[in-house]
A and B are shown apart, each in its own frame.
Chain A
Amino acid sequence: EIVLTQSPGTLSLSPGERATLSCRASQTVTTRSVAWYQQKPGQAPRLLIYAASRRATGIPDRFSGSGSGTDFTLTISRLEPEDFAVYYCQQFGMSSKYTFGQGTKLEIK
């Protein structure tokens, strides 16, 4: 099973700042299988990025994804108040197995 490790666990930033969230896989993953989600308290996750770098429908262009191999990054260029939430990366691997990272909490500084 491929393990996804997200860092940092918690990121404290102010609105207007740039956020960089990391997702590292325990082995090489297919770039096309990497996605990022945002989850706010009491809500279902919301798809932000798929295929590592493609923005989902309706997602603002301040969100961007990059990476390949074992290292993937979600960047939020200028934080808006509504961006403070928990972010998860996800991948699909062998044995038809989907796995998620443990999440990065983005909190207001």
Chain B
Amino acid sequence: QSALTQPPSASGSPGQSVTISCTGTSSDVGAYNYVSWYQQHPGKAPKLMIFEVTKRPSGVPDRFSGSKSGNTASLTVSGLQAEDEADYYCISYAGANNLGVFGTGTTVTVL
């Protein structure tokens, strides 16, 4: 399985929105509604922010939202805050006989 493609970086000013894309294929992102997003601060373990494309675990602010169109999933962070500066990774399910696949990661900078 090849890694899902994410832009290496994204940025925005406080209060603005930033959207990160996650592009896969018709065998993973495009085939299933099982895309998750993770936030990772330096030296810390990843934290689940979105699962099943659009769902937020309890405790995750509603500033974080997910969507999908075709083979591309997206994470939008609205109302950017300083603490949103982190690395973000997507994951997609890839079928019953396959390990899922991670995205390449995107570093979000709050200007």
Are A and B part of the same complex?
no
